[in-house]
Each structure stands twice: as structure tokens, then as C-alpha cells.
Amino acid sequence: MYVAAKGGEAAIRAAHALLDAVRRGDPAIPEIGLDQIAGQLALAVDRVMAEGSLYDRELAALALKQARGDLIEAAFLARALRATLPRFGASAPVDTGAMRVERRVSATFKDVPGGQVLGPTFDYTHRLLDARLATQARWPTSPIPDDAPPPPVWGRDGVGGGAAAGPLPAPTAEVVTPPTLPSPTRGEGGVGVAPMPRVTDLIGAEGLIEASPADDGAPPGDLTRAPLAFPADRALRLQALARGDEGFLLSLAYSTQRGYGRTHPFVGEIRFGAVEVSMFAEELGFEVPLGDIALTECQSVNQFTGSAEAPPQFTRGYGLAFGQSERKAIAMALMDRALRAGELGEERTAPAQDAEFVLSHADNVQATGFLEHLKLPHYVDFQAELELVRRLRADRAAPPPATAPAAEDEA
């Protein structure tokens, strides 16, 4: 890992002081709090937790604030802290089938046991800026009537969109209390109370999809404690994908959909909610609950023509990420399936099917360190390159050496 090199101490202290001032911004504006970041920028906090390999909303919010909103820098800060923490053991596998679901949709079956739960999502919103958020968001305290006027949109209705469209709406002093929403961590409000069976289990009951891999009892590797080595088994690959850069995985997953690989799946199910984490206490002889964490899980359903050992059936791709990270979980499921090409006897023809290529470049903290070290002093190296180029140019400009005339052949 490349980190900042020691330079002129006075200049570095001044740079730190300037960074603190720029981070704070206008002192006349109230400073943003960690509770505001964790509550109102929840998806950014979720991404920092996932890529920082540390589930702690408050610490992720602190890292995001310290990094001035730079998600990769915030993930770097979270990993640096995690590396200093003691490890007391490993938790038991979480049961996502018992998840207290806040959102659960299936693209393969319309009517699934437990129903489709839309939950909080951008999927059905119009991508138009809501001018109300420029002042204060108003929570509807009752169902919105069908004949209600649409909300003011930025750049339309005389709101925003440049000087011709008028100034921002004046701030309102009215305080609107949001309604109490069903919480996945409490299981109240009728959401997430009853367990919802996985869609892949419904297909598996007919033997139409490969069985989930059996637990062989061997402890999985831990990328937070040991570097990645190849060949990497599926457990290590999933770990690397879970904390890999979302943008990188998204691009590779998109490439498989466009034909650079054999992956164009159905989303069997994606669910988001709270699951209980427990740990086996040897001195007690049973598992002890530690608390709840929010997870997003995606199981993809992929075609498979079969082989000499297996009949035609669907195969699986799997994604799991901290918080509400649906894009990450779906991309992870696509990449998991693409990286199983060799295991399933498929020809590996695309970058997304090359485990060493994907996993070696998915880590944004490592990539950032290697890329940003180019900003550090390279004076000696450059002077050597500069002198080499000057010498090559001088050699090229020099006239060719004179050669003696060839002796005439004797008669």
C-alpha cells in the first residue's frame, strides 16, 4: 500500500490546517452532524461500510465527514481503523431466510409467498429534481389523493433552472414531523414480521436449479487478515467482491450482459432488511445473539445447458452487501456467476471471467494507493529518464561516422 511520504513538515502542517478549514466550510452554516450523515446520506454510509469491511454506521459517517464525501477515502479510513481492532472470533452464518424484510422483489415470479414488498427505492421515481428538498422535505401524513398536484420540479413550474425560472423557494419555518415508518430492526408495522422463503428455494424444490453448496466445515479464508492468493475459492472470491469497488463491479457486470461472457441472468430475488448476528460462545456451549445488521442479498438465476454430470438446470449467482446496496449486490451476483465459468465447464473468453484480473483490480483502496502515489515526488527517477531522452536525441542528431572507401578489386 502506498501512503503519503514525509516531506517538508511546515508545508505539510499548513496543508493539514487548510484541509480542516476547507472541510468545515463556511462557519456561518451549522456543521453537519454524524447523525445527519448516517440518517440522511444512508446509502453513502452503506457503501463506506461495505468497501471498508467494517459494519458501524457512526464510524462510517465519521469517515465520510472526514473525507469530505470522498467514498474511497472514507473506505480507506474505515479499513485503517479496522486493522487496529482486536478480533474475538467469527460469527455464525446469518440466516437471510429469516430476514426481517423491508424490501423484497422478484423479477422471476409475480406472486411469491410473502408478496412483493417495494419498500424504499428509486426504482419507481421520476428522475426529476424535487424543489421541495431545497428547503425542507414534507412528509405526507396521510395517503396522497389521486387528484393531488405533482410536486414542484426543478427547472419547471418557475422553480430553479436558471435566472429565467425564478429564485429558490423561500425557506419555511414549519416543522413537519415524519410519520413512524416500519423498522426492519423492530419488526413492527406489519413489515418483515413473517419470514419470506427464498425464490431460489421454490425453484429448487422442483430440482430445476443447482443445489446450494454444502458447508464442508472448514473455516473460510479471511481477506482482512491475509492477502488474496490464487487460485481463490468461491468464499474468497465473494469476500473480494463484497468489498470491491461498486463502480468497477458494475462495469464488469454490464460487460457480461453485453456479451463479454455468458451471463444474462434473471434476478430471482433481491431483499433488504435486518438479520440477527450471533456467535458461538464455547464457555456457554450455545450461540449468543450479538445484534442486528442490515443486509442486501441478491440471488440470480442463470441458464445452464447441463453437462455429463448434471442435467439441464439453472445455476446461481450470489451477492451480499452491508446496508441497502442493491446495485452492488446485483453486480456481485453477476460477477460471481461469471467467475464460475471454469467450474461449470464453460469457455472463459471475457475479462469478467478471469478471476485474477477481476479480483486483483476490484479493490479500490489498493488501486487508489497505487494510482495516487504518482503524485508523490519522483524527482530522481524523472531526472534519470530526462537524461536518457536527452542522450537518445543527441545520438540521433549526431552525423553518422565517416567510413573508409572500399578498396578496388584488383584486376
pLDDT tens figures, 259-286 = 898 777 889 899 999 999 999 888 888 8
What pLDDT is stored for residue 7 in this prediction?
Answer: 56
**Alpha-carbon distance 57 to 274, whole Å?**
14
- Residue 187 pLDDT more than 70? no
Nearest to 232 by CA among 222, 245, 224, 243: 222
Under the banding of pLDDT at 50, 70 and 90, the label for residue 293 is very high
What pLDDT is stored for residue 312 in this prediction?
Answer: 81
Under the banding of pLDDT at 50, 70 and 90, the label for residue 41 is very high
> Percent helix, strand, coil in the chain (nearest 5)?
35, 15, 50
- Residue 336 pLDDT more than 90? yes
> Mean per-residue pLDDT for 44-70?
94
Candidate ranges 144-153, 163-172, 250-259; pick with highest mean pLDDT:
250-259
Choose the weakest-confidence range: 65-79, 88-102, 103-117, 213-227.
Answer: 213-227
Nearest to 114 by CA among 199, 207, 201: 199
Under the banding of pLDDT at 50, 70 and 90, the label for residue 169 is low
What are the residues whose beta carbons fall under 8 Å from the beta carbon of 373, sequence distance 6 or more? 2
CA contacts within 13 A on the Cβ side of 225: 8
Question: What is the percentage of the chain residues whose pLDDT exceeds 90?
Answer: 37
**Number of other CB atoms surrounding residue 138 within 10 Å:** 13
Q: Which residue has the higher pLDDT, 171 or 205?
A: 205
Question: What is the percentage of the chain residues whose pLDDT exceeds 70?
Answer: 80
What pLDDT is stored for residue 202 in this prediction?
Answer: 83
Read off the C-alpha cell for 184. 426492519
CA geometry: angle 57, 58, 63, nearest 5 deg: 95
Whether residue 76 contacts residue 247, with contact meaning beta carbons closer than 8 Å, is answered with no
CA geometry: angle 297, 302, 306, nearest 5 deg: 135
CA-based end-to-end distance of the chain: 75
What's the one-letter identity of residue 132?
A: R
- Residue 390 pLDDT more than 60? yes
- Residue 146 pLDDT more than 70? no
Read off the C-alpha cell for 371. 494510482
What pLDDT is stored for residue 219 in this prediction?
Answer: 76
* DSSP strands (E only) in 87-143: 100-105
* DSSP bridge pairs for 330: none
What pLDDT is stored for residue 140 in this prediction?
Answer: 57
